[in-house]
Amino acid sequence: MAELLKEAVIGLDIGQGREHSAICVVEAELREAREKCLVHFDVRHLERRPVRSSFPELAERLAELAKAVWKQISRWPMVYTDLTGLRAPVLEILRDSDVWVEPGYFTHGDRRTQEGERDEVSYTLGKAYLVSRLQALLQTGRLHLPKTPEAGSLGEELLAYQVKVEENANDRYGAFRVGARDDLVTAVGLAVQVDPVFRTSRGDAGIQLSEPRYTYEEMCRLIGGG
């Protein structure tokens, strides 16, 4: 490929009540393989925020991360977040930080739908879709995780994060074990939910890969406890 194309995406899972919020920054890159161009996602940053972090605090942190991304790859990142149960007032606070946020709402099912145009874009995301998307990216080696404590916690969440279909065909999702968390895996899922639109690159100013990284086989052993 004559020109390396990269974009950055941030996923924000907003905790409610005594839940943690989590933020994931990924770098999406087009890579050639067997005469095809596939999008790979490198997790550059993964963090769990303190319980009851305020919305202005989250907005400030998003702004810090967005500026860091700009310095590294000369791109302002797309930000996806879940506003289920929160709605417009929270979105206004997040956007006051000069970071463009696309709001999403979790629902039942295995589909992702997008509505609106320009400044009014929003999406609905079935958690069954999110789980399938993560599984597909991991199994095809297109989601790359750094060997960090946060990534280790993510592996544990992936094990607990599952979809169950009840007799009435309604999805149950999330971490089913008592005390289990799903904030990190949700933040990653939000960030990688769809392949980004790549803009023309002005030179290679990409972030260096965090080495070493987990292979898919290592991730299987990690989340399987083997």
- Give the pLDDT of residue 109: 80
What pLDDT was estimated at residue 12?
95
Instruction: Going residue by residue through the chain, which has 226 residues, state the pLDDT in tens, using 9 for 90 and above.
Output: 444 578 999 999 998 878 889 999 999 988 877 777 888 999 999 999 998 899 999 999 999 999 999 998 888 899 999 998 886 789 899 988 888 899 999 888 888 998 877 667 888 988 888 888 988 898 888 999 887 777 777 766 676 666 555 544 566 665 534 345 688 889 999 999 998 877 654 433 333 333 344 454 554 554 444 4
Question: What pLDDT was estimated at residue 170?
Answer: 60
Q: Which helix (H) or strand (E) holds 217?
A: helix 216-224
Residue 195 neighbours by CB distance under 10 Å:
14
CB neighbours of residue 75 within 10 Å: 22
How far, in Å, CA of 135 to CA of 46, rounded?
18
Angle (CA) 42-104-166 rounded to 5° is 95
Question: Taking the chain, what is the end-to-end CA distance rounded to the nearest angstrom?
Answer: 38
Among candidate residues 131, 98, 96, 129, the one with its CA nearest the CA of residue 114: 129
Backbone dihedral region of 13: left (phi > 0), alpha (psi from -120 to 50 degrees) or beta? Answer: beta
pLDDT value at residue 216: 47
Q: pLDDT tens-digit profile of 147-177?
A: 777 777 776 667 666 655 554 456 666 553 4
pLDDT at site 15: 87
Nearest to 105 by CA among 96, 161, 116, 97: 116
* Conformational region of residue 120, where left means phi above 0, alpha means psi within -120 to 50, and beta covers everything else: alpha
Q: What 8-state DSSP symbol labels residue 105?
A: E
Sequence letter at residue 154:
L
CA angle 168, 173, 179 (to 5 degrees): 130
Read out DSSP for 164-187? Answer: EE-TT--EEEEE-STT---HHHHH
Place of tokens 């199994």: 139
Please check whether residue 100 is in contact with residue 146, taking contact to mean a CB–CB distance below 8 angstroms: no
State the pLDDT at residue 14: 92
Rounded Cα–Cα distance for residues 50 and 15 (Å)? 9
Domain 6-200+207-219 sits in CATH at 3.30.420.240
- Position of tokens 């089913």? 176
Euclidean distance between CA atoms 218 and 226, whole angstroms: 9
Domain locations in the chain? 6-200+207-219
For position 164, what pLDDT does the model report? 55
Find residue 27's DSSP bridge partners: 8, 42
